[in-house]
Amino acid sequence: MSSKVFQKLSPEVRRELLRHVKPTSNNTHSKKATDHLRARHQRMEDAGNERNKSTKRWLLGCVGFVGCAATLPYYATQKIGSLTDRDDPLTAAQVRRGAFMNSGSRDAGKDTNWDLKTGRYIYPKGFAEHLSMQDPEETDFGPDIGPMVQQERSKRQQQ
């Protein structure tokens, strides 16, 4: 009865099975072995009961910790207030980060094409001519898809 399967059983089932086990013979050697096995299984049961108590403590501790951690955002928003519905003026840090927050932009900084005196955008050389040549009604599909679309349009016009 001391197989691995027997050891994996719950303490209640082991205890009940041991109650129904009869000693194999009446000689002293087998009686000693049986007593030794019963004592060993009793020790295993006692250790299992202690393990169950410690498991319950751990479970309660984990549930308590998660519960406390889950309430932190609630109490933080109660103390600070809603961050999206504020009418207060922005702090210096918020102003400094504002336009570039979560943008992932690597070229953040002063725009060299912006004229501070006039408050107008200065187009790079040749860009204004490029814009004037574009048809605003036509969709630009880029260099990958554009040639295919142009071929399809020319086939339709030929038909």
Q: What is the pLDDT of residues 33-89, one digit of tens each?
A: 778 888 887 877 777 667 777 788 889 999 999 999 999 988 888 888 776 776 777
**Is 98 within 8 Å of 108 (Cβ atoms)?**
no
Q: Which residue has the tokens 């679309």?
A: 149
Residues 51-60: pLDDT tens digits?
777 788 889 9
Higher pLDDT, 72 or 32: 72
86-99 average pLDDT score: 72
Reported as a pLDDT band with limits 50, 70 and 90, residue 103 is low
Give me the percent of the chain exceeding a pLDDT of 90: 8
Distance CA 52, CA 57 (A): 9
Distance, CA of 119 to CA of 83 (rounded, Å): 32
What confidence score (pLDDT) does residue 65 get? 96
d(CA 51, CA 72): 32
Write down the pLDDT at residue 61: 94
Res 114 pLDDT > 90: no
For residue 90, give the nearest of 102, 81, 98, 99 by alpha carbon. Answer: 98
Other Cβ atoms within 10 Å of 41 Cβ, number: 19
**Given this model, what pLDDT does residue 28 score?**
58
